[in-house]
Amino acid sequence: MDPYATAEQYRARYGDVGDAEALETVLEDATRLIASELERAGKPVDDEKTAGVRMQVCRQVASRVMDHIEGNDVPLGVTQIAQSAGPFAHTYSIGNPYGDLYLTKAERRMLGLGRGRMGFLYPGGLK
């Protein structure tokens, strides 16, 4: 299966990366994650109408992982940061410290992967 997003599409959105081989692998991994979620929901994995959405979500998923791989000073996904001048403290907490692949709620909605709903109906009405 070809990745939903190419390295060129990724670079057009997020800029150049240091490790091009890692980017290719992460895009393939993100594609497999998205495809497996679509299959699990009974949705087509290669529908032309949703190609743009799949490409965008693939880039976003890859961006979270590439930020972890690249080791930026203050990575994307920092949930808390504290800085101090003396004696030189610089602390932050990372939301995805291990660089895991995952879909956010917004990405799931974009792909049409809403949560199923369960309920029941009283045929005779409530008594």
pLDDT per residue over 64-103, tens digit each? 888 777 665 555 556 666 677 778 776 766 666 666 788 8
Q: Which of 115, 100, 111, 114 is nearest to 4 (CA)?
A: 111
| pLDDT of amino acid 50 | 92
Q: What is the pLDDT of residues 10-56, one digit of tens each?
A: 999 999 998 899 999 999 999 999 999 999 999 999 999 999 999 99
| pLDDT of amino acid 77 | 59
Structure tokens given for 126: 């409530």
> How far apart (Å, rounded) are the C-alpha atoms in residues 84 and 63?
29
Beta strands in the chain (DSSP E): 78-83, 90-94
Confidence of residue 116 (pLDDT cuts 50, 70, 90): low
Q: What is the pTM of this model?
A: 0.73
> How far apart (Å, rounded) are the C-alpha atoms in residues 95 and 104?
12
- With 0-12 / 13-18 / 19 or more C-beta atoms within 10 angstroms meaning exposed / middle / buried, residue 87 is exposed
Residues 6+ apart with CB under 8 A from 30: 3, 4, 5, 57, 58, 61, 62, 65, 101
Its sign, for the CA torsion 12, 16, 20, 24, is negative
